[in-house]
Amino acid sequence: MGGFTFPIVPRYAEIDQQGVVFNGHYLTWFDEALTGLLDHLEVTYPGLIASGYDLQVVHSEIDFLASVRWRDTVRVAVCCEHIGTTSFALGFTVLGSNPATPERPAVRGRNVYVVLSTADWAKRPVPEPLRSALSSVAAQ
């Protein structure tokens, strides 16, 4: 599941009328986990911007396996599944538990990111510091 996990506290406002986390919030959690991963790898998002790079999600997919409810204990495991010339893919596994249920995968997802220049918004090769950092959390 990769070498990094990001804790999430399901917020009351994220719960839908079925009593579970509304599906659209998982993409927000993936984005929060990406930012946490970059901080952990010391290739921060503000640092990327300062060096002239930005990231854009170009593809997302989500598979639902189990419900996540308010007050569940949740963490998002992140691993790098692929690094290409101008893009990379991260895999996300939302792990949830509560006093009645041991930790289990609740949601699996994947985002593909393209690296862009902040000067002209054109694709750029994945910068070497980011490539090296992502390689350290590559899927086994």
Q: How far apart are CA 140 and CA 137, in angstroms?
A: 9
Domain carrying residue 121: 4-136
Please choose, from the candidates 49, 50, 59, 67, the residue with its C-alpha nearest in 3D space to the C-alpha of residue 107: 67
Q: How far apart are CA 76 and CA 124, in angstroms?
A: 28
Q: Does pLDDT of 3 surpass 80?
A: no
What is the tally of structural domains in the chain? 1
What is the pLDDT averaged over residues 94-102? 96
- Specify the pLDDT at position 17: 95
CATH number, domain of 57, equals 3.10.129.10
- Specify the pLDDT at position 139: 84
